[in-house]
Amino acid sequence: MTFIDQLQSSEILILDGPMGTELHRRGINISLPLWSASAIWECPEIIREIHEDYIDAGADIITTNTFRTDARTFRKAGLSEEDARNATFKAVELARKAISRASPDRKIWIAGSLSPLEDCYHPELSPDFKTAYLEHKLKTSWLLQAGVDFILIETMNTFDEALAATRAALETGLPTAASFILKDKSHILNGDKIITAYEQLKLEGIEIFSINCTHHSVVTELLNIHADKIDLPIMVYVNAGFFDFQKGWQGDPVFTPERYASIARTWIDRGVRIIGGCCGTGPEFISHLR
């Protein structure tokens, strides 16, 4: 069975939870610019354990720790393009080892993470289309060579960069999911219209349309208003809180694993096929989703 075959079935799939904030919760340094990528060399066994914990919790899809393994970020850290490539391959290898060690009784798919080239919460820093395309093309070629099952373009904060990343990803021949961070129920973080982005990326050929790194209430509003316009499989993985531009990260104490499972049930009727967790969630959230 291919991942496309899986999508064509009616089964609900469980995506894993975050890597960066879970590393932080376990006492690992995730300082910028490398963020979670530094752990690939400093504590690879913790990355593998996190993948295993998500599989044991019930995830059908685990996401490679490649959110920040692009050449641009590595250059900011004084490292080379080759270092970024090696980190990407190592991250995919750790995901594969986790699947082998967990010995699950079901197929586990590997999503290759592709992030914005600059800060997720600062869309004004996004590079021009040509630059973004060339840099994402390099990273997607690494993910293809490393052997991921599909490319997960995540936390996109502008349509322009999402389009560049999508074209680069689709050129690999791998299935592609495009995921956005929202400003509100109808707009990407930079103000672009989310439904316009969906319509254009569907024409490009994406297989999955997704929202992540957003509060669950915004996702519910989006689905209530726009779900009937979306006929691709929908993926959702939300934060256990939200980012306030004045106060920084704000946790949501009432967003418990039990609460998330209850909310997620209502999304399935709106066309959501894949559900997981983003910043601040963890294996316990995935267990309740399962």
Question: What would the pLDDT profile of 23-37 be if each residue is shown by its tens digit?
Answer: 999 999 999 999 999
Sequence spans of domains, the chain: 3-289
Superfamily of domain 3-289: Homocysteine-binding-like domain (3.20.20.330)
Task: Give the chain's end-to-end CA distance (angstroms, integer).
Answer: 22
Specify the pLDDT at position 145. Answer: 98
CB 275 within 8 A of CB 3: no
Report CA-CA distances (Å) from 51 to 121, 145, 264. 26, 21, 22
Q: What is the pLDDT of residues 86-122, one digit of tens each?
A: 999 999 999 999 999 999 999 999 999 999 999 999 9
Q: What is the pLDDT of residues 171-183, one digit of tens each?
A: 999 999 999 999 9
pTM over 0.85: yes
- Residue whose C-alpha is closest to residue 109's, from 210, 14, 205: 14
pLDDT at 65 over 80: yes
Return d(Cα 178, Cα 176) in angstroms, integer: 7
